[in-house]
Amino acid sequence: MSETAQAFDVGSVSARFPVFKGRWTHGLLAALSWAAAAIITVSLPDVVPWGSRQLFAALTAAGALFFGVMFFSAPRTGNLGKTLIYYGPWFIAIGVWLALWELTTAKFGWLPKPFFSPPHGLLNVYVKDGNRLLICIGYTLRLWSLGFFSGIIIGYVTGVALGWSKSFSYWGMPILKLIGPVPATAWIPCTFYFFPTTFAASIFIVALASGIPVAILTSSGVASVDRSYYDVGRVLGGNTWYLIRKIAVPASLPHVFVGLFMSLYYSFAVLVVAEMLGAKYGLGWYIQFQTAYSGYANVYATLIIMAVLCAGISKLLFMARDRVLTWQKGFI
Amino acid sequence: MAVDTLAPANPSVTEGSSNTAVKIAGLSHYFELAGSRLKVLANIDLDIATGEFVALLGPSGCGKSTLLRLIAGLERPLEGQISADGQVIQHPDPSRILVFQDPTLFPWENVHRNVATGLEARGLLPQSRKRIDEAIELVGLTDFAHAYPHQLSGGMAQRAALARALVNDPPLLLLDEPLGKLDSLTRLQLQNELTSLWQRRGFTALLVTHDVEEALILASRIILFSERPAHIKAEFLVNKAYPRHRDDPDIIALRRQILAKLGLST
């Protein structure tokens, strides 16, 4: 059987069996796997103490209890129930994953401290260092938003100019192609010289990383707009400024959004480095600080925060795109 | 040049330059193709009177569309001159509006906003909301004013494109096979609508087509073009009342003449 056919079969099985006689069967399996994780966590001793063991066991047990209740009521709770049922297989897998994770790290010590941490070790980081992490999140978001937004605004304007004007493109495109592949971090020595504060230099690094993909994608978007739209605009009496505003800009938006998604990922990737520049707080700074002291559990815990932040912002960007590009539906 | 007529030509259409809408004199045009010059239009002289409905008929790819783009001002002729209302055409102007073969509606705007394009471009939007609604009603799209182009059928999209041109009240309407890609029923219907619009509004119309029947149903004069490089091969006056019928014996007779000129005797 081909891979696609198999995938289809699995899909149809899980679509048919999650609810059986008014009960959410996946919910029961999820409850069992989460309960197993809770029992393993409290009943077996840790090889090396990690802290927050009881709390983690309590949380997973609460999860198990929730899925147990939902076993009965998920099929009757409307949208929440639908979402739960859809992600049912994931909940089972997460429970199994947590149980195995506990066993291999804290319980048997196959993956040893300090290189690895059990889930309750990560939880312990949030419990013990939560306040500092919150401050770090604030600092990082401040740096990220200043850098990202200034970067995409400048990148967008540059992109429109490059895509529209032949002479701008003659001079600008080769330069952009040369500096595009250079990692933003390579500019650190220059930024120290040119910027009054290290904070401004950090913003510049983030802005550069986010600006370049937007500039490149916007210019290719503007340059690839169907010429006949411009003919229509000109025939109807539109001047150059009108053609840019009303045709080039909206027509290139699908490209621009591709650029924005790339910018988002690049900007997060350079955050850690940007916060090397004399920062006192920030998730990147925290990661480096903890790496230096072998606090790998703290590093992992922080990476999870960054991943969640990035995924959340990317979700917002997706929502914005779907709103702005409703007209595109017939084309995709 | 052969001038064949069905009946005596309408004197009001052929006389004098005072009511000449478009004057084409000694026009030749070339395409740059892979470094060589390809002649598309050869020495064309043509006067179009105000209020006339002229069909430019010829084999596809002969250069008719290029002629329309030149009259619209989207391109400049390389030899000769085109003037509209006594002024040499230098650039596009909302008094000469070209309707393209494809509707080319802006997919990011709904029908209403698409129709508003010309008025908006000229800064006339605030005082002409009503005109837009009227134009949309004229082409029968009132219920679809807020639909996006991808939600329209081919015929509806072409109607919207027509409304986008008509809302500007252009004295000269240039039609580049606007019905060419429609199914035959929609096509017949839109042909009728075009005639009645032209009769009510009294604009000058210049239609490029390679459909002999369409030319005969719509036009008061038919200009026959040769293969590329296009030059004027023959001219026919169709002095017949509207609405015209395809099975009218005069129309059938003229159709046979035109086809014979095109080398397709039946």
Domain boundaries in chain A?
8-107, 119-326
Question: Is there a single domain that holds both residue B225 and residue B238?
Answer: yes
Which residues lie below 8 Å from residue B210, measured CB to CB, with a gap of 6+? Answer: B57, B58, B59, B60, B64, B177, B180
Structure tokens at B125: 């939007």
Q: How far is CA A270 from the centre of its chain?
A: 14
Check if the beta carbon of residue B138 is closer than 8 Å to that of residue B197. Answer: yes
Q: Check pLDDT > 60 for residue A39.
A: yes
CB nearest to A233's CB, from B100, B121, B151: B121
- With a pLDDT cut of 70, the percent of chain B lying above it is 92
Question: Which CATH number does A119-326 carry?
Answer: 1.10.3720.10
> DSSP E strands: which ranges in chain B?
2-5, 20-33, 36-49, 53-57, 79-84, 87-88, 96-99, 172-176, 204-209, 221-225, 232-237
Between A266 and B243, residue with greater pLDDT: A266
Of A31-35, B47-51, B59-63, B162-166, the poorest mean pLDDT is in: B59-63
**Using the 8-state DSSP alphabet, how is residue A110 labeled?**
S
Question: Is there a single domain that holds both residue B242 and residue B151?
Answer: no
Is the Cβ of B100 closer than 8 Å to some Cβ of chain A? Answer: yes
CB nearest to A327's CB, from B92, B148, B165: B148
pLDDT at A53: 92
Whether B121 and A246 lie within 8 Å, measured CB to CB: yes
Is the Cβ of B63 closer than 8 Å to some Cβ of chain A? Answer: no
Task: Summarize pLDDT for A10-25 with one digit per residue, the tens.
Answer: 444 445 567 777 889 9
Number of domains composing chain B: 2
C-alpha to C-alpha distance for B160 and B145, rounded to whole angstroms = 9
Which of B57, B71, B53, B45 is closest to B13 using CA atoms? B53
C-alpha to C-alpha distance for B4 and B211, rounded to whole angstroms = 19
pTM above 0.90, yes or no: no
**Mean pLDDT across B81-97:** 89
Task: Summarize pLDDT for A110-161 with one digit per residue, the tens.
Answer: 998 888 999 999 999 999 999 999 999 999 999 999 999 999 999 999 999 9
pLDDT at B154: 87
Q: How far is CA A197 from the centre of its chain?
A: 29
C-alpha to C-alpha distance for A327 and A331, rounded to whole angstroms = 8
Helix (H) or strand (E) holding A250: helix A249-274
Is the Cβ of B168 closer than 8 Å to some Cβ of chain A? Answer: yes
C-alpha to C-alpha distance for A194 and A274, rounded to whole angstroms = 15
Question: Is there a single domain that holds both residue B112 and residue B241?
Answer: no
CB nearest to A242's CB, from B100, B121, B149: B121
Question: Is there a single domain that holds both residue B69 and residue B112?
Answer: no
Q: How far is CA A231 from the centre of its chain?
A: 41
- Crossing angle (nearest 10°) for helices A119-164 and A249-274: 140
Whether A251 and B108 lie within 8 Å, measured CB to CB: yes
Q: Which residue, among B66, B100, B108, B128, would best test binding to A if mutated, counting the most A CBs under 10 Å from its CB?
A: B108
pLDDT at B208: 93
Cα end-to-end span (Å), chain B: 23
Q: Are strands B221-225 and B204-209 parallel, antiparallel or unpaired?
A: unpaired
Q: Which residue, among B117, B153, B166, B173, would best test binding to A if mutated, counting the most A CBs under 10 Å from its CB?
A: B117
C-alpha to C-alpha distance for A173 and A158, rounded to whole angstroms = 10
Question: Is there a single domain that holds both residue B56 and residue B188?
Answer: yes
Q: Check pLDDT > 70 for residue B16.
A: no
Q: Check pLDDT > 50 for residue B86.
A: yes
Q: Which domain holds residue B111?
A: 103-168
Whether A235 and B117 lie within 8 Å, measured CB to CB: no
- Reported as a pLDDT band with limits 50, 70 and 90, residue B14 is very low
Residue numbers in A near B102 (CB within 8 A):
228
Question: Is there a single domain that holds both residue B118 and residue B90?
Answer: no
Q: Check pLDDT > 80 for residue B4.
A: no
Residue numbers in B near A250 (CB within 8 A):
106, 108-109
- Reported as a pLDDT band with limits 50, 70 and 90, residue B231 is confident
Question: Is there a single domain that holds both residue B123 and residue B69?
Answer: no
**Mean pLDDT across A15-37:** 85
Is the Cβ of B153 closer than 8 Å to some Cβ of chain A? Answer: no
Question: Is there a single domain that holds both residue B117 and residue B130?
Answer: yes
pLDDT at B113: 94
- What's the mean pLDDT when you consider all of chain A? 89
Q: Are strands B221-225 and B232-237 parallel, antiparallel or unpaired?
A: antiparallel
Residue numbers in A near B178 (CB within 8 A):
none
Whether B97 and A235 lie within 8 Å, measured CB to CB: yes
Q: Check pLDDT > 90 for residue A34.
A: yes
- Reported as a pLDDT band with limits 50, 70 and 90, residue B1 is very low
Residue B45 is assigned to a structural domain of this protein: no
Nearest-by-CA chain B residue for A231:
B74
Q: Check pLDDT > 90 for residue A300.
A: yes
Among all chains, which residue has been given the structure tokens 């069909």?
B55
Cα end-to-end span (Å), chain A: 30
